[in-house]
Amino acid sequence: LKISLPKNELRIPTITDIFPGAILYERELMEMFGVKVEGHPDPRKLFLPDDWPDGEYPLRKEWRKRKK
């Protein structure tokens, strides 16, 4: 499945009702790329720690690691 989204509107509907196996992939999209998956049954973080800053999406091309 491939879709194009405008940078200012990163929203897609969930497909977990059709493909239950998509649940983890959609969680990864939300966490790593900042895509809002509307209607997702379990939007908890998957890989990143709980104290990860909001709005930081490490797999986006423009993301740069913060300096301490």
Tell me if 68 is assigned to some domain: no
| The pLDDT value given to residue 38 | 98
Summarised one tens digit per residue, pLDDT across range 10-50 is 999 999 999 999 999 999 999 999 999 999 999 999 999 99
pLDDT value at residue 67:
62
Say if 56 falls within a structural domain: no
Q: How many domains does the chain have?
A: 1
For residue 37, count other CB atoms closer than 10 A to its CB.
21
65 part of a folded domain = no
- Amino acid found at 63: W
Residue 68 has pLDDT above 80, yes or no: no
pTM of the model: 0.85
